[in-house]
């Protein structure tokens, strides 16, 4: 009854608001008169080149900011449309935005959006052959489950995603688990929405290249102060330290028990992996290497963000740790400026008697690198 009154009062307020405004009903299915034909952007050509377009009648300059590339100047035509056509791009998914008179601007003509807590982007798909592991094929598909919980560790409402392989619902078997972590500024949906991990796993499972497994993708922040401070957060060592500490705590004491309580998973260190990209790579190393009783398969893709004081970061590591680990896989793109810290980390690990798998690939700090990292890393797990 009380809710009804509250609802009623809001409806009255809403009515007052609506009455003061005339009938704009842009989503009506019967709008009178046809709106102008939408401008096409992006337009992918047969050779993989892409034309981007944005209308900005009074702008003096516009640039395309394409993932993994320097800003590219756009030219204005006589209909006030700025445009640029790239050279042929290798088939992949590319994030992008525009800079119009220096202002970051999304492509409102393109409904494909990259979720991100600081810099949401659009993306464009340059279609490739079905043999590319991130292309959807006519194979059995897993599911993505979105979970919500109240974290007492972080004191907020948060979420995680769980990928279940295609066989999950028709088998009684238990599965190993990979905890897969996103990077700074991403949200928990990054590995599915951008990284295409579910498509990649569907394909690799169909080909028999990876063991069917559960993949858990939690929100990767130990404090949301990391996001409130924006990129400046990395100048706040106290926030960064709290972030890493509390992330490990919410993962081990809140997410993992929930997952192991609900899903048919093998609950032992030999069937538990942790991997991530960038900030999530560091979290995988910090959580994994400091909890070898819990994780024995560890991956770090382009990891960064922790102090280069490895003795302090990983106080428990010694030559005996090597026997406990099934896999320590450390990858970075050679054009990523994090390559140096990754090389230093590998050297330090070796000085401790631990030999990581050392992966250097062409590429920068981009999803093009991380999708390929996942394709190479996943087949090594649980074997």
Binding to its own copies (CB under 8 A): which residues in 308-327? none
Q: Is 138 in the site for its own copies (CB under 8 A)?
A: yes
Q: Is 304 in the site for its own copies (CB under 8 A)?
A: yes
Query: Smallest Cα–Cα separation from 184: which of 222, 148, 215?
Result: 222
Give the C-alpha separation, 280 to 365, whole Å.
13
176 or 363: CB nearest its own copies: 363
Applying CB under 8 A, the span of 31-39, 215-223, 266-274, 352-360 interacting with its own copies comes to 31-39
Cα dihedral 246, 247, 249, 254, rounded to 10, equals 120
State whether residue 141 is helix, strand or coil.
coil
Smallest gap from Cβ 85 to its own copies, in A, equals 15
| DSSP at 175 | B
Q: Is 24 in the site for its own copies (CB under 8 A)?
A: yes
State whether residue 63 is helix, strand or coil.
strand
Applying CB under 8 A, the span of 172-180, 224-232, 246-254, 289-297 interacting with its own copies comes to 224-232
State whether residue 300 is helix, strand or coil.
strand
Q: Is 296 in the site for its own copies (CB under 8 A)?
A: no
* Residue labelled with tokens 């069937």: 271
Q: Is 146 in the site for its own copies (CB under 8 A)?
A: yes
Give the list of residues 6+ apart from residue 364 with CB closer than 8 angstroms, or none. 68, 333, 335, 336
Give the C-alpha separation, 83 to 56, whole Å.
11
Residue of 43, 44, 51, 55 that binds its own copies (CB under 8 A): 55
* Residues 186-205: x where in contact with its own copies by CB under 8 A, - otherwise, as a string: ------------x-------
Q: Is 41 in the site for its own copies (CB under 8 A)?
A: no
Applying CB under 8 A, the span of 216-224, 287-295, 322-330, 335-343 interacting with its own copies comes to 335-343
- What is the size of the binding site for its own copies (CB under 8 A)? 107
Applying CB under 8 A, the span of 181-189, 264-272, 290-298, 318-326 interacting with its own copies comes to 181-189
Applying CB under 8 A, the span of 210-218, 248-256, 292-300, 360-368 interacting with its own copies comes to 360-368
Of the CA atoms within 13 Å of residue 107, those in its CB half-sphere come to: 32
Q: Is 77 in the site for its own copies (CB under 8 A)?
A: no
First to last CA, the chain: 59
Residue of 1, 78, 148, 383 that binds its own copies (CB under 8 A): 148
Residue of 26, 46, 77, 237 that binds its own copies (CB under 8 A): 26
Residue of 244, 330, 363, 373 that binds its own copies (CB under 8 A): 363
Give the C-alpha separation, 49 to 89, whole Å.
6
Phi, psi values for residue 135, rounded to 5°: -90, 140
Q: Pairing mode, if any, of strands 92-100 and 297-301?
A: unpaired
Longest dimension (CA), the chain: 74
């Amino acid at each position: 009854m009380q809710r009804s009154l509250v609802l009623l009062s809001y409806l009255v307020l809403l009515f007052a608001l609506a009455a003061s405004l005339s009938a704009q009903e842009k989503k009506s299915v019967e709008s009178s008169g046809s709106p102008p034909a939408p401008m096409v952007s992006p337009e992918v050509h047969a050779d993989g080149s892409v034309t981007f377009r944005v209308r900005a009648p009074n702008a003096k300059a516009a640039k395309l900011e394409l993932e993994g590339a320097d800003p590219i100047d756009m030219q204005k035509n006589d209909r006030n449309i700025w445009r640029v056509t790239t050279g042929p791009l290798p088939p992949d998914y590319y994030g992008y935005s525009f800079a119009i008179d220096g202002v970051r601007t999304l492509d409102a003509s393109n409904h494909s959006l990259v979720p991100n807590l600081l810099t949401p982007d659009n993306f464009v798909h340059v279609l490739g052959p079905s043999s590319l592991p991130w292309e959807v094929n006519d194979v059995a598909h897993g599911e993505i489950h979105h979970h919500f919980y109240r974290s007492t560790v972080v004191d907020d409402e948060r979420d995680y995603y769980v990928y279940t392989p295609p066989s999950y619902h028709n088998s009684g078997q238990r599965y190993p688990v990979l905890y897969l972590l996103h990077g700074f500024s991403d949200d928990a949906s990054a590995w599915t929405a951008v990284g295409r991990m579910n498509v990649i796993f569907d394909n690799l499972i169909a080909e028999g290249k990876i063991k069917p497994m559960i993949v858990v993708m939690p929100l990767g922040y130990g404090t949301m102060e990391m996001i409130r401070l924006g990129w400046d957060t990395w100048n706040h060592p106290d926030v960064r330290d709290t972030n890493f500490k509390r992330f490990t705590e919410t993962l081990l004491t809140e997410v993992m028990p929930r997952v192991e309580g609900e899903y048919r998973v093998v609950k032992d260190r030999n069937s538990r992996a942790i991997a991530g990209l960038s900030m999530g790579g560091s979290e995988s190393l910090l959580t994994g290497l400091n909890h070898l009783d819990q994780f024995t398969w560890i991956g770090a893709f382009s990891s960064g963000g922790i102090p280069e004081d490895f003795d302090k970061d990983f106080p428990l590591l010694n030559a005996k740790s090597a026997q406990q680990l099934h896999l320590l896989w450390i990858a970075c793109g050679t054009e990523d400026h994090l390559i140096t810290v990754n090389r230093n980390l590998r050297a330090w690990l070796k000085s401790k008697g631990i030999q990581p798998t050392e992966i250097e690939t062409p590429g920068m700090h981009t999803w093009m690198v991380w999708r390929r990292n996942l394709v190479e890393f996943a087949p090594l797990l649980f074997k």
